[in-house]
Amino acid sequence: MNYRFAQAELEAYLDEALPAEDMARIEKALRDDPKLAAQLAALNARRDAGLHSLGAIWRRHRLSCPSREQLGSYLLGTLPRETADYVEFHVQMVGCRFCRANLADLEAQQAEADEVVQSRRRKYFQSSAGYLRRRRR
Amino acid sequence: MPSSSQADKLLVQRVRSGEDEAWNELIARFEGRLLAFVESRTRQRARAEDVVQETFIGFLTSLPNYDPRRSLEGYLFSIAAHKLTDQLRREGRRPTLPLSPGTSSGASSWEPRAPDRPASSILRSGERRHLEENALAAAIGEQIVQWQRRGDWEKVRAAELLFVRGWANKDVAARLGISEQTVANHKFEFIAKLRSAVRKQGLPEAVFPELYADSAEAGREEGDR
């Protein structure tokens, strides 16, 4: 096994679930280290064979993620101290990518101009509405 | 812990029946967080928007496979992760691994099935894996909620660093400012709970190697001392 990365970290890499900076670190290592690619392929084979990993299950089911409402309260500074400390730990130290995305979105909502958001949403709707209409046929 | 709320279920039901308004609402509710998730990797807004656009199309085309008991947000993130992976591979940033065929990288009901295994065998193994995963997720979730209710945040933190980040006992101990023995005890308690859940539900031990590894035994022995 490659000594630089823990198995749980590589599992998260396969699921595109590590923080962006850690994803980039593994991608960089992959370019120089064929053993790492083989290690990741072996992890994929374990999954195909039906083996589970606790970390992957924990992450996939988001078992300790705060709710979006709690993340909003965290930004407003209205969470009880112990809960706020845990949110900080989960987002910064564990680096939960999904909670980071929710926090970034909540922060952006306050900063972004409404017109820009509406135009982006219109674009998503127009490009996908054809698939919705097919459902009605 | 985010789960599929009643509001999400109703929204999906309306989307299933082809309501434009519901689809607009779903886009408005989730596009911001999906964009933030993708953009943290692409670092370019336009490319991130393209990936989110593909995510929404992927959601509509996979809707017949979506199980409404599953978190809607989690489902959308999983589609976005796969679309993002494809995009990064096309750009040459994410190397293609020599994958074995099958359903690796999690259960993705929206992906096409691998062509070289009969669909029925994939379905059977997928269902079994799903059941095992859901049973263990319920046991882990129950333990986390119990710790949180008791204010045992140290145990939640230790288990998360050990199993989600894969840190060694000594690193967890140093980070949390506790002894290695305390970390080993927390680890043993957690593993014992999960082993008990596996036993009660009659799940095969062999598919959860971390629960029956030597380190778990070592943790018990140290803890018993």
pLDDT in tens, A77-95: 999 999 999 999 999 999 9
- Domain B120-224 fold is Arc Repressor Mutant, subunit A (1.10.10)
> Domain extents for chain B?
6-90, 120-224
pTM reported for the whole predicted model: 0.84
**Is the per-residue pLDDT at B220 higher than 60?**
no
Residues 106 through 135 of chain B touching chain A, CB cutoff 8 Å: 106, 125, 128-129, 132-133
Residue B18 has its nearest CB partner, among A60, A90, A133, at A133
Contact B40 A104 (CB under 8 A): yes
Q: Give percent of chain A with pLDDT exceeding 90.
A: 69
Q: Please report the pLDDT score of residue B106 as a whole number.
A: 42
Query: Taking CA A80 as the corner, what is the angle to CA A93 and CA B32, rounded to the nearest 5 degrees?
Result: 60
Amino acid at B198: V
CA atoms within 13 A on the CB side of B204: 8
- In our burial notation (b when 16+ CB lie closer than 10 A, e otherwise), range B4-22 reads beeebeebbebbbebbeeb
Interface residue A1 vs chain B (CB under 8 A): no
The arithmetic mean of pLDDT across residues B193-204, rounded, is: 94
Q: Measured between alpha carbons, how far is B82 from B38 in angstroms, rounded to an integer? A: 10
Query: Taking CA B182 as the corner, what is the angle to CA B179 and CA B184, rounded to the nearest 5 degrees?
Result: 110
**Is the per-residue pLDDT at B31 higher than 90?**
yes
First to last CA, chain A: 53
Predicted-complex ipTM score? 0.87
**Is the per-residue pLDDT at B36 higher than 50?**
yes
**Is the per-residue pLDDT at B216 higher than 90?**
no
Neighbour count for residue B75 (Cβ, 10 Å)? 22
Domain B6-90 has CATH 1.10.1740.10: yes
